[in-house]
Amino acid sequence: MAKAQINPEKARWLEVLGIAMPLCLSYIPIGLACGILLHAAGFNFIMTLVVSIVVFSGGAQFILASLLTIHAPLSSIFMTLFFLELRYALLGSSLSKYIKNESQHFIWLFAVSMNDENYAVNYLKFATDKKWSPQDGLLVEHYSLISWSVANMVGGLIGSAVSIDLEVVDFALTALFLYMIVMQVRSHLTLLICLLSAVLAVCFLVLTKNTLGIVIATLIASFVGFMIENAVRKHSKNPEENWFLTKVFRPIATRTTIEDQKEKKELKKAEEELVAEKSSNPPKRDN
């Protein structure tokens, strides 16, 4: 008996959907929570949809909702979101070599549809799959955008039907951002900068009595981190072995990344070349 095939005609859009499906499914719970919080911040059904499409960033939308619930000034909100989303300039630059031959309209559409998660999927596929095209990458972005927007809308509807305690939402937001920080800490330097930024944020919040103090603290801590890393790489003979740049302990499940795999391959290749060189040039014996 012949087995039923999900994609008998090998449709490319369906293959890409299969690749993007784990990402799309992961958006459902966090998207529902974000939609509920946006409704609590005063967004109606239509505005929730517009924000989810225009911003398309879980971290930015959570911060937007939390700042609105505490009645933060618009200037602070815009500044905070601007510096938070500035990281996409760096993420996009790493993908630019794969889409540089596309039209300006395509590049613009690709850029506005990118976020952290679909960037990770596309970066991995571009780096490991020679058949992966910019059009496939754009499909991944659109699939994730649709999933996120629908989850946000459903969350907004749930928020309008169910009364949500904002104290619970604040706790969930704090836990979410702590998790995001922990996942970003990979070296002693990043850990120190996280602690420095926390101390500076408290100080500047007290001095300015405004959420703009968080932005100022972030900029100062980032500059200090850049200066330390630049000095270490410039003056240290083995920068990667310097205490600041050595890795902190991380759980085994989250420790292996693409960079780690490349580093292991390079070390293995260097060892093989060293062994081959020794075998081709045996030490001379004294007569």
Q: Alpha-carbon distance 173 to 167, whole Å?
A: 10
Over residues 42-81, the pLDDT tens digits come to: 888 889 999 999 999 888 898 888 888 778 888 878 888 8
Q: Alpha-carbon distance 28 to 126, whole Å?
A: 26
Q: What are phi and psi of 247, to 5 degrees?
A: -80, 145
Over residues 4-30, the pLDDT tens digits come to: 565 666 788 889 999 999 999 999 988
Residue with tokens 């602070």: 76
Residue 7: name the closest of 131, 16, 128 by CA. 16
Q: Please, which pLDDT band fits residue 251 given cuts at 50, 70 and 90?
A: low
- Round the average pLDDT of the chain to a whole number and report it: 83
Q: Alpha-carbon distance 84 to 215, whole Å?
A: 9
Residue 182: name the closest of 264, 254, 239, 84 by CA. 254
Q: Alpha-carbon distance 52 to 82, whole Å?
A: 16
Over residues 136-178, the pLDDT tens digits come to: 999 999 999 999 999 999 999 988 887 766 666 667 667 767 7
Contact partners, residue 95, CB within 8 Å, separation at least 6:
114, 119, 122, 123, 126, 137
